[in-house]
Homo-oligomer: A and B are copies of this chain.
Amino acid sequence: MSGFFGNIAKTDVVFPVFYGTDYHSHLGTKRAGMAFYNKKTGFQRAIHSLEDGYFRTKFEDDLKHFEGNSGVGVISDTEAQPLVTNSHLGKFAIATVSKIVNAEELEKEFLDGHRTFSETSQGSVNPTELIAMLIAEGHDFVSGIENVFSKIKGSCSILILTENEIIAARDKLGRTPVVIGKNGNGIAVASESCSFANLDYEIDKYIGPGEIVRITADGVVQLRAPEKEMQVCAFLWVYYGYPPSYYEGINVDEVRYRCGAALANNDDVEADFVAGIPDSGVGHAMGYSNERQIPLTRPYAKYTPTWPRSFMPQTQDKRDLVAKMKLIPNPALIKNKSGVFLDDSIVRGTQLKDNTRDLHAEGIKEVHMRIACPPLTYPCEFLNFSRSRKSIELATHTAINQLKGTEEVDLKKYSDPESEEYKEMVERIRKNLGLTSLKFQKLNDLVNAIGLPKEKLCTHCWDKSSHFKK
């Protein structure tokens, strides 16, 4: 997904940008970067890979070289960022949370005009460089960002650090969040509001869809009013967001408790314990356990001393090893017991299948799986959503394929929990994963747990209801 953090204040911001960016580490595993501006040395920038180390470790040595009263940082799931660009608008550093579906088409247009690209991301154009070039086509930053809004298919939230200010823009349909924090000394801006508390910032404002603001140490000025339409990603609450964060004023962990409670209210299975798959299912499990008053336990203990979450090895072999090694089963809590297990979602289901097999090997009696959202049926086209694979890899499509010998079916039926097709598919997934029982959340219950009107939420991966902006 990626996430960014910016800060501009009356005092040096290297420390808060370092920690504020670090608090977005759950959003990306590829690259991270920070840029600062100060009058003496101009723009300073560092980018490191996160593929073989953690953000704080990687940037610790850079800190002593940095200074500035303004800066931005980014944890990126894809390209190297932030870029420092020179343009007729002046020099600026730019970080984005974006997905550009029509990147190749835009690239071709630029190349045809004898333009060059300097940055690449895994062999393709670097989306942030493309966005910077689109911005430089404007006569000022606002018209440049509007150029981005109108040219790209996908989504794009932007932080720009100039010599004088930070300019923040939220995706035109608000798919990804941008939140403003304030204290007496300056202004912070972030993807995740959980980054504010320990830096002594308080949430001041949720930037609206398509809204553009100019931020200085003294305050925030609106440069473009928000759009009415919004399509904020529902998965932010279900999985991506860190528990203490808020989007649109709604707290992440509370949504998870409500998700778990909703599942509990539709459930009557008997069990000795409730447990969340670490870490993605823990909040949901707390909600379920509290609602049904079945004891919460830890049949799988995550070995947190050395397995922090944001570690993503390059090969599948290594990923499987990490998946296995970081969770330690506790036979005392498993043997001859029945358990309800909660998780946020099922993507491919391979890891869940392995876990279930291990639980049976440890002597569990029953494994009842409860999933906090409906079955994932349509790959995301709007966000850089690492969990959203090609449709063929989804557990739902695998099941449909097994049942029908093809994926070319009327998927709508499979999204309707009352249909026979849905039931057949869920039953097949249950069997594939070796579960005693399996239930998914209903979309309506999920929308209620979040608490926004359905039309404000993007629920595309479950019901194919969203669209590119006009």
Contacts and interface: CB of A to CB of B under 8 A. Distances in A.
Contacts of A88: 111-112, 114
14 contacts: A23-B328, A43-B120, A86-B116, A87-B111, A87-B116, A116-B132, A116-B133, A118-B118, A198-B325, A244-B301, A244-B330, A279-B304, A296-B296, A305-B310
Interface string A327-342: 1111111000000000
A353 to B, nearest CB: 17
Interface in A355-399: 362
A115 B118 contact: no
A246 B332 contact: yes
Contacts of A325: 19, 198
A194 B301 contact: yes
A contacts with B: majority SS: mixed
Nearest to A199: B325
Contact of A305 (B25, B111, B116, B293): B25
B118 A129 contact: yes
A56 interface: yes
Interface stretch (A250-258, A401-409, A411-419, A432-440): A250-258
A333 B132 contact: no
A222 B86 CA distance: 36
Contact of A306 (B22, B119, B244): B22
A109 B331 CA distance: 48
Interface in A20-39: 22-23, 25-26
Oligomeric state, in copies: 4
A234 interface: no
Interface string A98-140: 0000000001000110111111100101000100110011000
A275 to B, nearest CB: 10
* Pairs A-B, 9 closest by C-beta atoms: A251-B332, A244-B330, A290-B295, A118-B118, A86-B117, A305-B310, A25-B305, A243-B301, A305-B309
Contact of A297 (B112, B197, B246, B257): B257
A56 to B, nearest CB: 6
A33 B55 CA distance: 25
A330 B116 contact: no
A329 B120 CA distance: 39
A120 B84 CA distance: 8
Interface string A203-226: 000000000000000000000000
A429 interface: no
A468 interface: no
A242 interface: yes
A211 B296 CA distance: 38
A328 B298 contact: no
A178 interface: no
A445 to B, nearest CB: 19
A54 interface: yes
